[in-house]
Chains A and B, each alone.
Chain A
Amino acid sequence: DVKVTQSSRYLVKRTGEKVFLECVQDMDHENMFWYRQDPGLGLRLIYFSYDVKMKEKGDIPEGYSVSREKKERFSLILESASTNQTSMYLCASSRGSDGANEKLFFGSGTQLSVL
């Protein structure tokens, strides 16, 4: 089974701090994703990476950046955390070569609170 591991389950940070959320997958997947999930808004795509060092913006990239230096690891960076970035952050991966069979595998999520 594919395993997507997010480094922290819960995280509490202060406004203005630089925050790193780490995600690792163990199935050699090409594609990796960062979403945030808020009540009533569902999952919103922040960034997407389709290869090492390659990235694309999702719907809500403002205030975030990403890094993919190795295929298995995709990091989300909050340059200067703000209270409106308090949310559940979900990392996912997909094979990238399955065409119409492509599906996402998610980590368990990181609940980030910015105080």
Chain B
Amino acid sequence: SQKIEQNSEALNIQEGKTATLTCNYTNYSPAYLQWYRQDPGRGPVFLLLIRENEKEKRKERLKVTFDTTLKQSLFHITASQPADSATYLCALDNFNKFYFGSGTKLNVKP
């Protein structure tokens, strides 16, 4: 079965630094990978999507990379702010069904 791993430990960083979150997967080759943000008590919100033939994707302070050889995606938030504190989830598509990692909680301290 599909296995998607994200660092379960919280990531604590100082405001202004770059946060880097990791998503590793096994057992299949997705056509694309997505990242979502989830705030406490709310549903996840879509942030970015990267296709298998794209190495890197950017949106404002966000950057995602996708290495299909390593089966890994990295999610970067540059110039991080306390408002970026949340749980970030990666998701993989398998024939229109989406499978999620357990998420990494990011804490940005002022």
Contacts and interface: CB of A to CB of B under 8 A. Distances in A.
Contacts, number: 62
Given A90-B43, A103-B34, A106-B45, A48 B8 contact: no
Contacts of A101: 49
Interface string B37-78: 000011111100101000000000000000000000000000
A45 B4 CA distance: 13
Given A40-B8, A45-B97, A103 B89 contact: no
Give the interface residue-count category, chain B. Answer: 20 to 34
A107 B44 CA distance: 8
A94 interface: yes
Nearest to B98: A104
Interface of A: 4, 31, 33, 35, 40-43, 45, 48, 50, 56, 58-59, 90, 92, 94, 96, 100-109
